[in-house]
Chain A
Amino acid sequence: MRAHTFLNMFNLGLIKEVLIISILALVFGFFFNAVRPNPMELFVTVEINDSEQRNEKISVEKASALLESGMIIFLDLRSADNFHSAHIPGAFNFPFENIYEQLSELEKLLNNKNSVIIIYGSDLMDTKPDDLAELIGMMGYENIKIMTGGWASWVSKNFPVTTRQNSGE
């Protein structure tokens, strides 16, 4: 009985057999998947929710860097009380609870195409910025970003704030 040597093992016949089995397996795989009642969906891309895609998030670090450039407008969505005790320098207060009363004011800001508008709520759990972003998205504006972590995150990083004392109110 002759044992095959290592080299003559890799002949054309072997390559042919390997190719035939591989291709058959691929064809069977796709075919049986296609005919099964609950086929596996191939090449599925994860769909991103429209509003999520439109409203980009921005970190507090980036937002603070932009603050110095003067190219941005902050919208503070917290209550007027919270806003008056302290807020990000130059921010406008749009308490989300009565946002509809300030819509025309808001639109005026949104029409200012040279600036990026950054909105923030009280903290990471605050969903008001997302809700407002959706509303603004429906209004057809896109130059808006949500600051992740909100006011709490801004304060924890010791970024500049305007308080009642230093604004002289």
Chain B
Amino acid sequence: MKKFLTSSTLSALFRWLLGSIFIYAGVFKIADPWSFSDAIYNYRILPDFLIDIFALWIPWLEILSGLALIIGKWIKGGTFILLMLIIVFIIALGAALFRGIDISCGCFGLDESRKIIDWSTIAKDFGLLLMCLQVLFFDQSKYALIKIRKEKSVRP
């Protein structure tokens, strides 16, 4: 069991999963930065002048980090950024729930924007957090796109 949890194959699976989830989330937010800006505003954590900057910045952080995980370049950096983002999301969600603010998550832009947050949203984030930690500690960049390409080019 321990061997399975610390295996680089599992890391590779988590990398592809995390990468796709965050690219998907990022693309939706870029398509509609206004909804995301509103979502950030609703959490009532950031000062007003930072809200729009974060609304433009966070989606690209998600996409570039997601790409890093899948492509296999800057995996550690990308995973670390995702880890930080997830921690921030958990704190923001937790604070909102604790203060009893009924807001939508804003996690995946338009589609989910009408869903009201609850503790299961945080549970999902903890799942992502654990995946990030596993990747951060045990990843060997297995099945990364650049590795696959290199192997192909070496063979002939």
Tell me if B90 is interfacial: C-beta within 8 Å of chain A: no
Q: What CA separation (Å) do A33 and B37 show in the bound complex?
A: 13
Q: What CA separation (Å) do A118 and B130 show in the bound complex?
A: 64
Most buried by B among A18, A25, A30: A25
B37 touches A21 (CB 8 A): no
Most buried by A among B30, B53, B56: B56
Residue interface mask A1-27, B partner, CB < 8 A = 1? 101100001000110111011101110
- B contacts with A: majority SS: helix
B37 touches A40 (CB 8 A): yes
List the B side residues contacting A29 at CB < 8 Å.
53, 56-57, 59-60
Q: What CA separation (Å) do A43 and B49 show in the bound complex?
A: 6
- Please name the residue on chain B nearest to A17 by beta carbon: B77
Residue interface mask A73-115, B partner, CB < 8 A = 1? 0000000000000000000000000000000000000000000
Q: What CA separation (Å) do A4 and B76 show in the bound complex?
A: 11
Report B127 CB to chain A, min CB distance, Å: 21
A20 touches B140 (CB 8 A): no
Given known contacts A1-B140, A4-B137, A40-B34, A13 and B59 CB-to-CB distance under 8 angstroms: no
Interface residues of A in 126-158 (CB under 8 A from B): none
Tell me if B78 is interfacial: C-beta within 8 Å of chain A: yes
B61 touches A21 (CB 8 A): yes
From the candidates B6, B52, B64, name the one contacting A1 in the complex (CB within 8 A).
B6
List the A side residues contacting B37 at CB < 8 Å.
40
Number of interface residues of B (CB under 8 A): 29
Q: What CA separation (Å) do A87 and B37 show in the bound complex?
A: 50
Q: What CA separation (Å) do A156 and B146 show in the bound complex?
A: 77
List the A side residues contacting B137 at CB < 8 Å.
3-4, 9
A21 touches B77 (CB 8 A): yes
Given known contacts A21-B61, A21-B68, A9 and B33 CB-to-CB distance under 8 angstroms: no
List the B side residues contacting A40 at CB < 8 Å.
33-34, 37, 52, 55-56
B57 touches A25 (CB 8 A): yes
Q: What CA separation (Å) do A28 and B26 show in the bound complex?
A: 12
- Can you offer 13 A-B residue contacts whose CB atoms are under 8 A? A3-B137, A4-B136, A9-B136, A14-B76, A20-B74, A21-B64, A21-B74, A22-B61, A24-B60, A25-B57, A29-B60, A32-B56, A43-B52
Other A-B contacts than A26-B56, A28-B60, 4 sampled, CB-CB below 8 A, are A1-B140, A4-B136, A13-B76, A14-B76
Across the A-B interface, give the 6 residue pairs with the lowest CB-CB distance, nearest first. Answer: A17-B77, A29-B56, A25-B60, A17-B74, A25-B61, A28-B60
